[in-house]
């Protein structure tokens, strides 16, 4: 398979992904893709790939951002409820 293929934008902005690419990536009807703009390109990624990339990026983070946010909100609420 060639590294590049051309596709056309059809009615309502629809693009058909060539069968060779669908097979290579295991894409089937109903597969969920994430569309991103990178410079002047449209990049389609499988949702599972995006999740894996994010998990990899944040694998070394030991603090829960959710827990930090909840703690900050509680602290701010406590300060607002204090008299004076």
Ranges of each domain in the chain = 11-81
pTM to 2 decimals? 0.57
Looking at residue 1, its pLDDT comes to: 56
Q: Residue 31: is its pLDDT beyond 90?
A: yes
Which residues lie below 8 Å from residue 73, measured CB to CB, with a gap of 6+? none
Per-residue pLDDT tens digits for 35-76? 999 999 999 998 888 888 888 888 887 888 888 899 999 999
Report DSSP state, residue 7: -
- SS3 state of residue 82: coil
């Amino acid at each position: 398979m060639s590294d590049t293929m051309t596709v056309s934008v059809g009615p309502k902005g629809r693009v058909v992904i060539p069968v060779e690419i669908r097979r290579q990536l295991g894409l089937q009807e109903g597969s969920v893709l994430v569309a991103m703009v990178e410079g002047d390109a449209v990049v389609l990624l499988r949702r599972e790939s995006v999740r894996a990339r994010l998990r990899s990026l944040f694998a070394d983070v030991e603090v829960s951002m959710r827990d930090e946010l909840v703690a900050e909100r509680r602290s701010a609420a406590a300060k607002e409820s204090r008299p004076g």
